[in-house]
Structure 1
Amino acid sequence: MTVLEGDGRRPGAAAAYGRERDGDTSVPGVRNLTQVEATERARLLDVTGYDIRLDLSTAVLAAEGRTFRSVTEVRFRCTEPGAGTFIEVAADAVRSATLNGTPVDLGDWSAEKGLTLTGLAAENVLVVDADFAYSSSGQGLHRTVDPVDGETYLYSQFETADAQRVYACFDQPDLKSVYTWQATVPAHWRVVSNMPVVREEVAGEQTKTVHFAESARMSTYITALCAGPYHEVRYTHDGLDLGYFCRASMAEHLDADELHLITTQGFDFFHEQFGVRYPLPKYDQLWVPDFNAGAMENFGCVTHAESHYIFRSQVTDFEYEQRANTVLHELAHMWFGNLVTMRWWNDLWLNESFAEWASHWCNTHATRFTDAWTTFLSLRKNWGYRQDQLSSTHPVYTEMPDLEAVEVNFDGITYAKGASVLKQLVAYVGIEPFLAGLRSYFGKHAWGNATFDDLLSELEAASGRELRKFAAQWLETAQVNTLRPEVTIGADGTYQQVLVRQEAPAGYPTLRTHRIGVGLYDLTDGRLVRRERLEVDAAGDRTELDVLRGRPAADVLLLNDDDLTYAKLRLDERSMATVVQHVAGFESSLARALCWAAAWDMVRDAELAARDYVALVLAGLPAETDINLVTATLRQAASTLTFYADPAWAPTGWAELARTAKVALAQAEPGSGFQLAWARGYLAAARSPEDLAALRGWLEGRGAPDGLTVDTELRWSLLGSLVANGAAGAAEIEAELARDRTASGEREAAYAHALVPTAENKAAVWAQLTGPEALPNWRNRALLQGLSHPAQVELTAPYRERYFAAVGQVWASRDSEPAQEFAQLAYPTYLVEEETVAATDAWLAGEGHPAPLRRLVAEGRDGVLRALKARARDTGSA
C-alpha cells in the first residue's frame, strides 16, 4: 500500500476522495485479531480453497440496496480433528452456515467476534450465506455514485483485515489459499479480480454472472474485486496482458500511454533485477474514487487513488514523479508482499519499506525520473524524521499484538525510515550481493510466508557479512541521531581537525554506526564543485576524519553526501555561510536537498529562527531547478510561518513569501511546471487585500501571468484561498460547482464551504463531523480539512474544548480510517498555546481511552510542544 505523506489540510495534498448518495452505508466492525490467536489458528489450519459468490445487482439501488449477498465455501484441513476455531464474518446478517453439512449455531455470532466453529474434522467444508453492507468508508466493498452520469462503481479494499467485510474468511496473512470468484452484476458492468475472467453468463434480463479463474495462492488482504461500468484500455508487453481502468466520466483524463510506459519500465527492470518473472497471467490497475490511501497492491488487481493520480488539469513533474513512484511501489509488492508475504504484521515495515526502497531505485534507473532519491529525501525521508521524533516513536521492527496496533502503524517509520535502513543495507553489503540474497529469498519462499530473519539469512549467505548486529542497531531501536561536524582550520587554510559528533536524544541514547559520504565542495564562479568524496564509518559520539588533516579546507563540507545513512545533518559555520549564499550552486540536486533538509531540521529543532529560515528560502529557492525541491520547500516555508514563527512577525513573513513567489512566478518560463509551482505558492501565501484582489482577477479572467492556465483545479485552489481569507463566500462556491459538477467538484466545494470564516458555518461543519451518522469518507475528509486554516486560528479556538469532549465518541462510532482522520485533523494543531498542551494532558490523564487513539492525540501534543519551542526561538531572535 502507498500511504501519502502530507499535512492532510487540503484535498489535493492528501489521499483520495469520492461521494455517496445512498444514505447511511456504515459497515459493522471487524474482529480485533491478536497475534496469539493468529499463531494458534495457523498452527491448526491449512486453508485449501475458497469459492466466493457475490450478488452485486443491488448496488445500483438506493436505500433498499444497502447490502449484498455473499455465499462463501471454504475448504480447510485441521491438524487436530475435534478441535475448534473461529472464522471472521463481518456481515450485516448471517442467513445460514453449515460445517461439513451440519448447521452451525449462529447464536454466538457477531460481526466483531466472527463465527465459532467446533468439532472440526481432518477435512472440512464450511458454507456461509450472509448479507454484507456496502461501504462508504473506503473499507470493505466501497460503493460510490458518479454525479456526472449516475453510474455506480464498486471496489474492494481489504488491508489490514477487511476481506471479512465481503466474504467469510480466515483473515490473516499466513493462511494463504486459492480463490475462485463469481459475481452477478448489471449487464453493462465490467468486473475485475485477481485473475482473468473465464466466462460470463446471462443471469437475468439486466444482469450477468462473471466467473473468474482459480487464483494463485495468496493472502486474504490482497484478494480483490472491482465492478462497475469502468472504462478499460489494454496493452500487451513481454507476454503480459496489462489493463488500465477508470470511471467512464474520467476516461478523457486517463493518460494510459504514460501509465503504460512507467508500468512496463518497471516490469522490465524488476524482471531483470529480481530474477523471477511476475507470476500471474495479467496485471490490471484501476484508478478508483474515494480511496483512503495512495494505492493498494492487490495481486494482479491494483487500485490507485483516482483524485491523486488522474490529472484533470495541468500538473508539474512533481505530480508525475509521485505517480510513477506509486505505480512502481505497488508493482514491487507483486514480489515482495504478494509472492512472498509476511507471516504476521510485525513485518509490515519490511513489506512497505522494501516497496518504498524498490520504487525509488527503479525510478532512478529505469524511468526519466533519475533524481528520485532527491525526492525520497525531501519528502519521504523527512516524513520519517518527523515521525521518529514523536512521543509515539517505535523501532522499525515492532511487535504488533493485534490489528488495532497495526492500523496506526502505517507511518513514516514503517515506510520511510525502514526504506532508509534498506538503502543503507544495500550500501553496506553491495547491490549485487543484496540482489543475490533477494533472488534466493524469492526462490525459497515463493507462494509462502516469511520473516525478516529469513531475508537476513539469505543476505548474509550472499554477502558473507554478519548482519545481525546491523539489524539490531537499526531496526530494534527508536529515534534518530544527529551528525554534527566540528571543524578546525589553520592559518594556512588547511584542516587541522575534522570531527563528526554523533548525538542521540536523552531518552533514546543509541549511537549507531553510520556509513556516510563526506563531500568537499569548492566555490568556483558561483558553482559549488565537488573536489572529493570520502566514504567513512561514523561510530560512537566522536569520529575523527584523520584523512582530512592538512588538506585545503573546502567551502562546504557536507556530511552524508549522497544521503547514504538515516540521520539528521548539521553544517559547520563556514559551510553554512556558503550555503546560505550559494545553495543553488550545487550541481547535484541531492546535495541541495541535504542542505535544505538540514535547514528545515534546524528550524524544527529551534536551532534556527523561523524568520532566518524563511529568509534562506526567499534568497535561495527562486534559483532552484528541481521541481520537487521547489514544491517541498514552499510547503515547509508555509508550515514554518504557520507553526514556528512568532505570531507577531508571521504576517511580515507571509507578505515576503507572497512577494517572492509573485516575482518568481513572473520570471518562470510561461506554461512551465515551475510557473505553476510558484503560482500555487503565491496563492497559499496571499493575505493582503492587494494579493487577494489579484487572485480574484485570475479567477475572473483578468491579470493572470502569460502562460499560466487557470484551469479547473487551479480555479478551486484560488477560490479556497479567497474563501479562507474572507474574500469570497458561498455564492462563489456554488457558482464554481455549477461549472464543475463532477465528483472532484463536489469534493472541492465541500472543502471550500467548510472554509467559510463564520462562527455559524464552523458550528455547522462540526455538527456534521460529530453527528450520529457517519459521513462518506470523501465528505468527512473535506470537512475536516476545511474546518481549520492558518488564517482562521481565532475562529476555531472554541473547538479545542469540543475536540476533547467529542473525540472518544467519534472514535468509537466510526470505521478505522475516518476515526483516525478525525483524531488527527480535528486536533487543535493551530492553537500553539500552553492551554492546548494542558487540555491534552487532562484528556490523556483520563481512563479508558483506546491505545491507538491515545497515540494519535499524544502526537498532536508533540507538534504543539515543538511549535512552542520554535516560536520562542524566533521571538528571541527578534
Structure 2
Amino acid sequence: MPSLTRADAERRAQTLAVTAYAIDLDLTGGDDPEHPTFGSRSTATFTAQPGASSFLDIKAVDVASITLNGAAVDPGTVADGRVELTGLAADNTVVVEATMGYSNDGQGLHRAIDPADGLAYVYGHLFLDAAPRVFACFDQPDLKAPYTLTITAPQAWTVLGNGAATATGPGRWELATTQPLATYFVTICAGPYASVTDEHDGIPLGVHARASLAESLRAQAPAMLQVTKDAFDYYHQLFGIRYPFGSYHQVFVPEFNAGAMENPGCVTFRDTYLFRGAATDDELLTRANTICHEMAHMWFGDLVTMQWWDDLWLNESFAEYMAHRTLTAISGSDDAWVDSTMSRKAWGYAAERAPSTHPVAGSPAPDADAALQNFDGISYAKGAAVLRQLICHLGDEAFVAGITAYLTEHAYGNAALADFLGAMEAASGTDLTEWSKVWLTTAGVDTLAAAMGGDGLRVTRRAPEAVPAQRPHTLDVAGWSGGTQVLAADVVLDQDEVLVRADVAGSVGLLIPNAGDLTWAQVELDAASLTALPVELPRVSQAQHRAVVWVALTDGLATARVDPRLVVDIFVAAWPLEENSSILSRSGALLTSRVLADYLADAEVPSARDAVAGAARARLESAPAGSSQALAAARILAAATRDVEQLQRWSGSVDLPAGLDGDPDFRWLVLRSLAGAGAVSAADLEAAREADHSMQGNLGALAALAALPTAADKAWAWDQLVGDHGRSNHERNALASGFWTGRHTDLVREYVAAFHRDIPALEGRVGQDALARVAALAYPRSVVDEATITATDDRLAVGDLSPAVHRSLVDQQSVLREVLASRRAFG
C-alpha cells in the first residue's frame, strides 16, 4: 500500500476538516488462529468545500459497505488502502462497515495469547499510520477530531481507552468522548487485565497488566503511581496548564514494539517494565523516566500536535528533556541525567555517526514511511540536548514562559517549528534565526577537545566536514588528578578555539571536556588522559564526569581513535569500584556486547573475556548481597565468563548470588551463555521453557535455541525467523538477537547471503516498525569481513527496499565498517 505523502496530506487538509468520529468495534471474534479478525463500524463527520473530492483511508480484510451522505459507495472501489469520496457537501457523514484483521507485529490492533494461562489480550498501537487497520479515517496528524468509541468484548474482559470506559451491559462498553485527537493517538486495550486504581488531584489513575503479571503489578504499582502523582504536580506547576484528558491509565501490554506510546488518557508500555525478578536501580530509573516521558507528551504531542512528521521533534525532544528534568526535580538526584548520558546520548551519537543522520527539525519527510525512520536518537537525545543549550542561550525563565505561551496558543490544535520559535523569541526578546539554523536544521555533531598549556586551558571545536556549522556551545571542563578535582572551568565556545584562564590546583591527570554533559558534542580525550584513565577514572568521584568519559570511549571505539584493548584495561581498573547503576549496566554492556563481541580480534577474545569476568566477579564479591551493584555484576559475569561449570551450577539454581533464587530472567541469561558455548542442548532449553511457561520464557528459549552452535540448530532458527510460522514481532526479535551470538563465523557465514535475500522478503508480512527492528537485529554484523559489506552494497543497489529495511541495512553496515576500521587500526 502506498504511504501517505505530505503533498496528499496538505491537499486533503485544504479540502476538508473532520468534526467527529464515532467508532464501534466488535472484539468477540478473533478465534481463527490463522487470520483472526474483528468488526469495525466507523462514522466520520466532516466539513468540506462543496463539490470537492478527497479520499478516506481503509486497510480492511473486507469492506461490507460504505455510505457517503446516505448514498452507497461501491466497496470495490477501495484500492491501495483508500476510497475516493466525490461530490462532497459542506457537511458530510461517511459510514464504513468492515472486517479488520488483528495483527501480531505490534501495529494496528495487536492480539496476543499469554502462554501462562491461554488468555487473549488486545491493544491498539495506531502509530504511525496504522489507524486505517482499525477504523476508516482521514489518517494524518493535522486532522484532529473528538472520538466516541463503543466496544463489544467478551464478558470477562476489561476495556480501556482514551476516554473513561463504562460498562453498559454484559460485554458492552462506552468510552467518554475525547478531546480532539490525531488518529495515531487512538487506542483500545481489552482483555482480562489485572488493575490497580488510585486518584490524585482529581485525576482517576490506573495501572494494568496481564492477569499472569498481577502479583508483579500489585507489588510495583505503588512506586509507579507515586512517580505519576509527583510528575503531575510538577507539570501542573511548571506549565500552569492542567492535564486535559480526564482519567490517566497506564497499560503494560505484551509484544510492544517501542518502550511506550503516549495515547492520551491510556498510555501503553511494553510489559517487560513489570519486572518478574530482580531489577537494578537503573532499570527502575528507566521505567520512572519512561513514565515521566509519556506524561510530558500529554502536553507536547497530545495537547499540541505537530502539523506534519518533519516536526516530530516538537513531540519527542521535549518529552525526552522534560522527563529527565522532572525526574531530577521529584527525586532530588542527578541520576536521571547520568542515565541520559550513558544510555540516551550514547544512542544518539551512534545515530549521528550513521549515514542516515538528519537534522533535529525539518528533516525531509515526504511520506509517512520516510518519517518513521526519523524516530531515532537524534529526534530524542540530540533534541533534548539542544533544548538544554537553548536554555543556556535564553535562560530558564524565558524558556518556560515561551513553552507556556506555545502550549496555550495551540492547545487542541497543531503547530510547526516556526510557531515554537516565535513563542520563544517573544518570551526572550532574542532572534533565534541563526541559532535554530545551526542547532535545529543542520545535521552533524561537533567534536570538542581540551588541552592544558602554559597560557591556560585551550578548548577547541571541530565541525564535521560534510555539514559544517558554527554551533555555539555552553559547557564546562573538569580536570582530575589522584581523586581530586583540580580544575573546574565554565566555557562559552562560540568559535573554533577559545583560551580560558583557569585556576589549576595541581597537575591535571585527566582532562574532561563537557564534563557536566550540558551540550551535544563528541568528546575527544587527549592522549595523556587516555593513557591515565586506568589509574584516574576509578578515583573520579563525580558520576556525571565518569559517564562522559565512558561515552567518549564508546565514540572513540567507533571512530577507531581508541584501542579496544585499552577499553578492557580501563574496565578492569574502574568497574570493580563503580557505584552508579547506570554506569555499571551500560559500560558492562559495552564490553560484553561490543568489545568482546565485535571489536577485538578472535585471538584477543579469550584473555579479554577472562579479564572482564574477573572484574565482574570482583564487583560481585564487594557489593552488598542482593544490591543493584551485585545484580549488575552477576549479569556481566554470566555474559562474559568462560567458566561453564559455574554457569551450569547457576542454571540449576546452585550457588546463585543472593537475590537471584527463582529469578527466571537471570536463568535465561545464563542459559543463553551456555547455548552460545555449546554447553546445553535444545532438549534442555525446551525443558526450561516448560518450567517457565510464560511469554518471557518463550522469548528466552527462542533466543537461546537460536544461539546453539550447530548447523542444524542455525537452520531451524533461520527458518523460524523468516518462514511463515506465525511468529510475532517479539519472537522474531528474540530469534534474530540470538542467532549471531558467539564467535562462530564459519558456521554462520552462509547466512550473510540468506539475510540479504530473506529479510527484505518479510515486507508485507511484517509492518515497517517491526521490520526495522528485525532487520537491525538480524544483520550479520558478527561476520566481520569486507564480503559482508559488499553483499550489503549489492543488495542496496537493487533499489527495491522499503525505507525501514533500507535504513537498517545502511546503518548496520556503517557499524560493521566501524568495527573493520578499528581492527585495521589496532589489530
TM-score category, normalised to shorter length: over 0.9
Q: Is the CA contact 2:476–2:491 (under 8 Å) kept in the aligned structure 1?
A: yes
Aligned counterpart, 2:81: 113
Q: Which amino acid aligns with 2:352?
A: D
Q: Which amino acid aligns with 1:73?
A: T
Aligned counterpart, 1:319: 283
Give the superposition deviation at 1:750.
Answer: 1.7
Q: Which amino acid aligns with 2:445?
A: V
User: Is residue 2:326 matched to residue 1:355?
Assistant: no
Partners of 1:337 and 1:507 lie apart in 2 by: 32
Give the superposition deviation at 1:573.
Answer: 4.2
Partners of 2:133 and 2:111 lie apart in 1 by: 13
With over 3 angstroms needed to count, the CA separation of the structure-2 counterparts of 1:310 and 1:122, relative to structure 1, is: same
User: Is residue 2:60 matched to residue 1:91?
Assistant: yes
User: Is residue 2:557 matched to residue 1:603?
Assistant: yes
User: Is residue 2:444 matched to residue 1:479?
Assistant: yes
Partners of 1:794 and 1:321 lie apart in 2 by: 41
SS of equivalent to 1:661? helix
Aligned counterpart, 1:52: 23
User: Is residue 2:488 matched to residue 1:533?
Assistant: yes
**Residue 224 of structure 1, aligned match among 187, 193, 199:** 187
Aligned counterpart, 1:241: 204
**Residue 655 of structure 1, aligned match among 588, 599, 610:** 610
Q: Which amino acid aligns with 2:484?
A: L
Q: Which amino acid aligns with 2:466?
A: G
Q: Is the CA contact 1:722–1:728 (under 8 Å) kept in the aligned structure 2?
A: yes
Say which is worse superposed, 374-383 or 700-709, in terms of deviation: 700-709
Aligned counterpart, 1:697: 649
C-alpha distance after superposition, 1:770-798 (max 9, x if no partner) = 22455221221111112111333332111
Residue pairs, 1:203-352, within 5 angstroms: 208-254=171-217, 255-307=220-272, 309-352=273-316
Say which is worse superposed, 128-137 or 143-152, in terms of deviation: 143-152
Aligned counterpart, 1:734: 686
Aligned counterpart, 2:671: 719
With over 3 angstroms needed to count, the CA separation of the structure-2 counterparts of 1:175 and 1:705, relative to structure 1, is: closer
Say which is worse superposed, 571-580 or 264-273, in terms of deviation: 571-580
**Residue 630 of structure 1, aligned match among 570, 578, 584:** 584
Q: Which amino acid aligns with 1:618?
A: V
Partners of 2:335 and 2:658 lie apart in 1 by: 29
Give the superposition deviation at 1:549.
Answer: 8.4
**Residue 682 of structure 1, aligned match among 637, 641, 644:** 637
User: Is residue 2:469 matched to residue 1:510?
Assistant: yes
Give the superposition deviation at 1:503.
Answer: 1.7
C-alpha distance after superposition, 1:652-697 (max 9, x if no partner) = 111211122122212221111111101110111123xxx1111111
C-alpha distance after superposition, 1:419-471 (max 9, x if no partner) = 11112112221111111111111110100000121111111111122212111
C-alpha distance after superposition, 1:702-739 (max 9, x if no partner) = 33345553521111111111111101111211221222
Partners of 1:258 and 1:305 lie apart in 2 by: 17
**Residue 793 of structure 2, aligned match among 838, 841, 846:** 841
Say which is worse superposed, 185-194 or 699-708, in terms of deviation: 699-708
Say which is worse superposed, 365-374 or 133-142, in terms of deviation: 365-374
Say which is worse superposed, 241-250 or 459-468, in terms of deviation: 459-468
C-alpha distance after superposition, 1:589-634 (max 9, x if no partner) = 1111112222222222211211011101111111111010011101
Partners of 2:647 and 2:745 lie apart in 1 by: 22
Q: Is the CA contact 1:520–1:555 (under 8 Å) kept in the aligned structure 2?
A: yes
Could you list the runs of 5+ residues in structure 2 that have no partner in the other structure?
none
Q: Which amino acid aligns with 1:224?
A: T
Aligned counterpart, 1:364: 328
Aligned counterpart, 1:33: 4
Q: Is the CA contact 1:141–1:165 (under 8 Å) kept in the aligned structure 2?
A: yes
Residue pairs, 1:815-834, within 5 angstroms: 815-834=767-786
Give the superposition deviation at 1:144.
Answer: 1.0
The two structures, once aligned, show a CA RMSD in angstroms of 1.8
Say which is worse superposed, 241-250 or 572-581, in terms of deviation: 572-581
Give the superposition deviation at 1:87.
Answer: 0.7
Give the superposition deviation at 1:807.
Answer: 3.1
With over 3 angstroms needed to count, the CA separation of the structure-2 counterparts of 1:362 and 1:651, relative to structure 1, is: same
Partners of 1:550 and 1:145 lie apart in 2 by: 63
Q: Is the CA contact 1:496–1:550 (under 8 Å) kept in the aligned structure 2?
A: no
With over 3 angstroms needed to count, the CA separation of the structure-2 counterparts of 1:128 and 1:241, relative to structure 1, is: same
C-alpha distance after superposition, 1:349-390 (max 9, x if no partner) = 221111111101111111265321111011100111111011
SS of equivalent to 1:439? helix
With over 3 angstroms needed to count, the CA separation of the structure-2 counterparts of 1:827 and 1:573, relative to structure 1, is: closer
C-alpha distance after superposition, 1:549-580 (max 9, x if no partner) = 89865444432131111001123345445543
Aligned counterpart, 2:409: 444
SS of equivalent to 1:234? strand
Q: TM-score, normalized by length of structure 1?
A: 0.91
Give the superposition deviation at 1:120.
Answer: 0.3
SS of equivalent to 1:790? coil
Q: Which amino acid aligns with 1:232?
A: S
Aligned counterpart, 1:142: 110
Partners of 2:157 and 2:754 lie apart in 1 by: 45
Residue pairs, 1:519-530, within 5 angstroms: 519-521=478-480, 523=481, 526-529=482-485
- Between the aligned residues of both structures, percent identity stands at 38
Q: Is the CA contact 1:751–1:786 (under 8 Å) kept in the aligned structure 2?
A: yes
SS of equivalent to 2:103? coil
Q: Is the CA contact 2:278–2:659 (under 8 Å) kept in the aligned structure 1?
A: no
Aligned counterpart, 2:541: 587
Q: Is the CA contact 1:58–1:65 (under 8 Å) kept in the aligned structure 2?
A: no
Size of the aligned set, in residue pairs, is 823
Q: Is the CA contact 1:579–1:595 (under 8 Å) kept in the aligned structure 2?
A: no
Aligned counterpart, 1:405: 370
User: Is residue 2:143 matched to residue 1:175?
Assistant: yes
Q: Is the CA contact 1:420–1:566 (under 8 Å) kept in the aligned structure 2?
A: yes
Aligned counterpart, 1:194: 162
Q: Is the CA contact 1:51–1:179 (under 8 Å) kept in the aligned structure 2?
A: yes
Partners of 1:514 and 1:734 lie apart in 2 by: 55
With over 3 angstroms needed to count, the CA separation of the structure-2 counterparts of 1:650 and 1:508, relative to structure 1, is: farther
SS of equivalent to 1:173? coil
Q: Which amino acid aligns with 2:597?
A: T
Partners of 2:35 and 2:650 lie apart in 1 by: 45
Give the superposition deviation at 1:168.
Answer: 0.6
Partners of 1:240 and 1:399 lie apart in 2 by: 39
**Residue 560 of structure 1, aligned match among 502, 511, 514:** 514
Could you list the runs of 5+ residues in structure 1 that have no partner in the other structure?
1-28, 203-207, 489-494
Aligned counterpart, 1:802: 754
Q: Which amino acid aligns with 1:122?
A: A
Aligned counterpart, 1:72: 42
Aligned counterpart, 2:341: 377
Q: Which amino acid aligns with 2:617?
A: K
C-alpha distance after superposition, 1:232-258 (max 9, x if no partner) = 111011111001111111100111111
Aligned counterpart, 1:25: none
Q: Which amino acid aligns with 1:476?
A: T
Partners of 2:504 and 2:260 lie apart in 1 by: 53
With over 3 angstroms needed to count, the CA separation of the structure-2 counterparts of 1:823 and 1:441, relative to structure 1, is: same
Give the superposition deviation at 1:142.
Answer: 0.7
Partners of 2:504 and 2:515 lie apart in 1 by: 21
Q: Is the CA contact 1:644–1:874 (under 8 Å) kept in the aligned structure 2?
A: no
